[in-house]
Structure 1
Amino acid sequence: MTQAPRLSGVMPALVTPFGDDGKIDFKAFEKLLDHLRAAGVTGWVPNGSTGEYFSQSTEERRAVLQFVKDHAQPGETLIAGTNAPATREVIAQTRMARDIGYDTVLLAPPFYTRPTPDELIHHYETVLDAVDVNLVLYSYPAKDGADIGFEVLDHLADNPRVIGIKESSGVLQRAVDIASRYDGRIQLVSGSDDIALDFMFWGAESWICGPANCMAKACCDLDRTWKAGETDRAREMMKTLYRAMNSLESGKFVQKIKYGCELQGLPVGAARAPLGPLSDAEKAEFRAAMEPILNW
C-alpha cells in the first residue's frame, strides 16, 4: 500500500456514458475525460452514484474502472466507488478495484439496509480487514437511508487508512463539526455542491464533484481562486454557480448532469431506468441555470 494521499482539487464523480444501444460508450467517455483534464481536474472518481453504479453489472463496473485507470496520468488521484447493498459484495467490488490498481475507494453505507452505528462500524472494518485500500467515507443520508454519525466517525478517526469523508448531507453545521472534531485525522471532502465555497472556508481542500462533468472549468476556477486567496472573486463565482448547483440538488441529479454534458457539446446518453428523462420544462429550467456557466 502506498502512503495515503492528501486529497486536493476537483475530482469529478464521473457519469457513465451510454450509447443508443444501452451499452457503455467508451468513445464518448474518452472525449469527456479529455475535456475534464483540460479544465484542470486533479483526479477521477468512477462508479459512484453519479456514475449509475447501481444499474451496472459487475463486468460493466470492471470495464469502467479499467478504462479510467488506463486513461489516468501520473499524479492524478484515483478513487473507485465500490458500494453495494451487502458487505460481501462491497468486499468483492473493492478487491476488483484494488486488483485494477485503485489504492483508495469511496464507500457510503450500504443502501436499503439502514445499518445501526455498530453494524456500520463492523461493515467498514470488515472491508478494511479484507482489502488493503484507503477509504473515503461517503455521507449521503438522503440517498442511503443511513447516516455516518459521530459514533462511527469517532471509532474510525484514528485508523490511518480512513483518510476522508465526502460530506453530502447538505447540512453545513455537520461539515463544521467534522472539520473541528477530526482536524488532522479525517480530511473533509466537499460533497454538497451548492455550498462548496463554505466547505472550502472550513478547510476542505478537495471536492468530489458530480457537477464537474458538465461545468468543470467553472468548478476548477472556483477551487483555484479560493486557494489563491481571492475570496471576493471566489464568492462572485459561487453566486454564478449557485443556481445550477441548487437545481441539481433539487432532484433528477444524474439526468441533469448528463443533459448539462450535452449542452457542453459532450453527449453522454440517457440515464438508465428507473431514472427517467427530463421533461421539456425541466430541461428549460436547467438550461437557463447553466447559461452563465456555458459562457464561463
Structure 2
Amino acid sequence: MKLNGILPALVTPFNAAGKVDHDTLASILETQLAAGVSGFVPLGSTGEYYALANDERRQILATVKEVVGGRGTLIAGANGSCTREVLEQVSQTVDAGYTNLLIAPPYYALPSQAELLAHYQTILDTFPDINVVLYNYPIRTNVEVGMDVIAALHEHPRVLGIKESSGNLLRAIEIGEQYKGLQLSCGSDDQALDFYLWGADSWICGPANIFPEKVVAFHRTFTGGDIRGAQEIMRTMFPVMANLESGKFVQKVKYGTELAGFKVGNARAPLLPLTEEEKVEFRRVFEACQG
C-alpha cells in the first residue's frame, strides 16, 4: 500500500461536558475530505489517545470508519505501555475494521532495541492481516525506533513505512536514502519541505486540522514539480508550524482548529488550556497565514 498525500493526525473534539463530540468529528472529517486529504490517522498523539477511555477509542474508530468509508486511507493509532496492552489495542482496532496501524514503541517500559524489535515482530506474527507504520517519536516515548530495528523490518512486506517525528532531519535523510523499501512519512511539521525533498510522499499532519487546504496545496504543488511554489506555500505556513513546535502542541492544534471554525474543546488533563497570552500569539501567526 502506498502512503501518499496529506493524512491528518486527527484531533479528538470534546463538548462542553467533556465527552467526545462525534458530530463535530464528522464535520471535521468532511471538511478535510473536501479539501483533498488522502486519508486520516485517528487515535494518535494529536488525538490525545493516551487520555481516552477504551470505549471512547472504539467509538471514535467507528465514527471515522463510518464517515470516511472508502474515501480515504485509514491508519489508526494502537499503542500502550507493554506488548500485552498493545496487542489488546490492535485487536479492538482490527475488530473495528482497520488493517493499517500506527505503532510507537511502548512508553515507560524503555525497551532495548532487541526488545523493541521483538515487540514489533510479536504484533506482526499475532495479526497476519495487518500493515504497520512505525512511529518514531522519542520525545513522547523516550525510546527511539533505532536503525537496527529499521534495518530488520524495512523489507517486511507488511511494514509499510515510518512516521518520523524525532525532529532529526539527518535521521530522516538516512532512512530515505538507505532503506528504500520503507516509505518515509513526515511527522515533523516544521520540516515538511525538507522531508519531501528527501523522498517523502506523505505527511501525517497535525496542522491539517487547522488549514487543510494549505497543506494539501503544498503537497500537490510539490508533487506537481513546482518546488519553488511549494516553498512559498510553506513559507506562509511556517510561523504557525514554528509556534506549534515550540511547545503545547496539542493545545495549540486544538486552538487552531477552533480558529478554523470547529468547537473542539480543551485538551484533557493533565494538559492545561493555553493562557490568553499564548492564544494572542498563536492567533497572530494564524491570521497572518490566512492573509
What is the Cα deviation at residue 173 of structure 1? Answer: 0.6
Which residue of 1 is the match for residue 12 of structure 2? 16
Structure 1 residue aligned with 2:109, among 108, 113, 131? 113
Structure 2 residue 172 is the aligned partner of structure 1 residue 171: no
Structure 2 residue 156 is the aligned partner of structure 1 residue 144: no
Amino acid at match of 1:136: V
The TM-score, its normalising length taken from structure 2, stands at 0.98
Structure 2 residue 55 is the aligned partner of structure 1 residue 39: no
Structure 2 residue aligned with 1:234, among 210, 222, 230? 230
What is the Cα deviation at residue 187 of structure 1? Answer: 0.2
Amino acid at match of 2:134: L
Structure 2 residue 215 is the aligned partner of structure 1 residue 216: no
Q: Secondary structure at the match of 2:210?
A: helix
Q: Which runs of 5+ in 1 are unaligned?
A: none
Structure 2 residue aligned with 1:49, among 45, 52, 55? 45
Is the 1:138–1:165 contact (alpha carbons within 8 Å) kept by the matching residues of 2? Answer: yes
Distance 1:261 1:293 in 2: 14
Is the 2:29–2:68 contact (alpha carbons within 8 Å) kept by the matching residues of 1? Answer: no
Q: Which runs of 5+ in 2 are unaligned?
A: none
Question: Which residues of 2 match residues 176-255 of structure 1 at below 5 A?
Answer: 176-183=173-180, 185-255=181-251
Structure 1 residue aligned with 2:151, among 134, 150, 154? 154
Residue deviations 1:38-58 (CA, integer Å, cap 9, x gap): 111110110001000101111
RMSD across aligned positions (CA):
0.9
Is the 1:264–1:294 contact (alpha carbons within 8 Å) kept by the matching residues of 2? Answer: no
- Give the percent of matched residue pairs that are identical in Structure 1 and Structure 2: 49
Is the 1:106–1:136 contact (alpha carbons within 8 Å) kept by the matching residues of 2? Answer: yes
Which residue of 1 is the match for residue 58 of structure 2? 62
Question: Which residues of 2 match residues 88-99 of structure 1 at below 5 A?
Answer: 88-99=84-95
The TM-score, its normalising length taken from structure 1, stands at 0.96
Residue deviations 1:2-51 (CA, integer Å, cap 9, x gap): xxx10100000100000111110111111111111111111011000100
Amino acid at match of 1:21: A
Q: Secondary structure at the match of 2:61?
A: helix
Distance 2:219 2:69 in 1: 21
Is the 1:44–1:78 contact (alpha carbons within 8 Å) kept by the matching residues of 2? Answer: yes
Distance 2:101 2:15 in 1: 27
